[in-house]
Amino acid sequence: MADIHLFGGEKGGVGKSFVCRTAIAYHLDREIDFVPFDSDRSNADVLRIYGQPAGCRQAIFSEAERYDDAANGIFNAALEGHRVLVNLPAQAMPALTQWINDNELLELANETEVSFVSWFVSDCGLDSLKLFGEMLDTFGDRVQHVFVANYGMTERWERLKDNQALMDRMREAGVKLVKFPKFVGRAVRDKIDERSLTFEAAKASDELDPIGRQGVKSFLRKSFEQFEAAGVFANGQ
């Protein structure tokens, strides 16, 4: 059985690709078989950083007819038995939903023992929570949902806790919650991005001082602990 993890959130600037890159680092560290894809054509930083180190491939989600099969490699990789991690761009839902529905992929997934996991990375803004509710409306219990509370983007998590209706829906739908830790050290994070460093390279890079390298290690440890506490990758361990 293989699974396809879609890292989205619909809003720009909520940390979707950063969470995806951390998930890639987790799989490399744990030596779990996987294939990563980047479908963000405007800022393909996952492809740029993990193209060679992790064999990241490109996929395209588009409502344009000429791109009908430009994302099929994602499902085909899962059919080959690989776990698949996909970085999504902002506002991907219309094209993603069209790809899934036009190809009847949820039905095909049931036949071939492939499962979809939808990661929703959120800053807990009111618009983000509304978009997550729409995600639940669209896919319901046909996919596993993961809500990522990105503590690096906001401190307004009371909005989620205070939204009792949404919290009840999340419990009923079996949504898994990941409390994604803040990366301490903005300058270090900027340097990692500017130099296109993988997390693995950053842990030993002479371009970072000892505090910076320790910060990377601490962030990864905390992130991996959250992944494992939520059980989001349990099938691959």
Q: Quick check: is 237 in a domain? A: no
Residue 160 has a pLDDT of 86
Q: Check if the beta carbon of residue 126 is closer than 8 Å to that of residue 16.
A: no
Two tokens, residue 46 = 């996952």
Report percent pLDDT > 70 for the chain.
98
- The total number of structural domains in the chain stands at 1
- How do residues 78-113 score in pLDDT, each as one tens digit? 999 999 999 999 999 999 999 999 999 999 999 999
Average the pLDDT over 176-197 and give the result: 95
Say which CATH number the domain at 25 has: 3.40.50.300
Distance CA 160, CA 122 (A): 10
Q: Given a cut of 70, is residue 201 above it in pLDDT? A: yes
Residues in the chain, how many? 237
What does the mean pLDDT of the chain come to? 94
Task: Identify whether the C-beta of residue 83 lies closer than 8 Å to the C-beta of residue 33.
Answer: yes
pLDDT of residue 202: 97
Is 113 domain-assigned? yes
For residue 164, tell me if it sits in a domain. yes
pLDDT digit string (tens) for 116-136? 999 999 998 899 999 999 999
Using one digit for the tens of pLDDT, what is the confidence trace for 142-185? 999 999 999 988 767 778 888 999 999 999 999 999 999 999 99
Half-sphere exposure of 127 (CA within 13 A, CB side): 6
Q: Which amino acid is at 235?
A: N
Residue 175 lies in a domain: yes
Structural domain harbouring 33 = 2-182
Q: Which residues of 140-154 are buried (b: 16+ CB within 10 A; e: fewer)?
A: eeebbbbbbbbbbbb
Could you tell me whether strands 114-122 and 83-87 are parallel, antiparallel, or unpaired per DSSP bridges? unpaired
Q: What pLDDT score was predicted for residue 237?
A: 42
Global pTM reads 0.95
The structure tokens listed for 45 are: 């930083």
Is residue 191 situated within a structural domain?
no
Residue 187 lies in a domain: no
- Is 206 within a domain? no
Return the pLDDT at 235.
65
- State the DSSP H helix or E strand holding residue 205, giving kind and residue range, or none if neither: none
- Convert 86-100 to b/e letters by CB count within 10 Å (16 or more is b): bbbbbebbebbeebb
Q: If you average pLDDT over residues 66-83, what whole number do you get? A: 95
231 inside domain: no
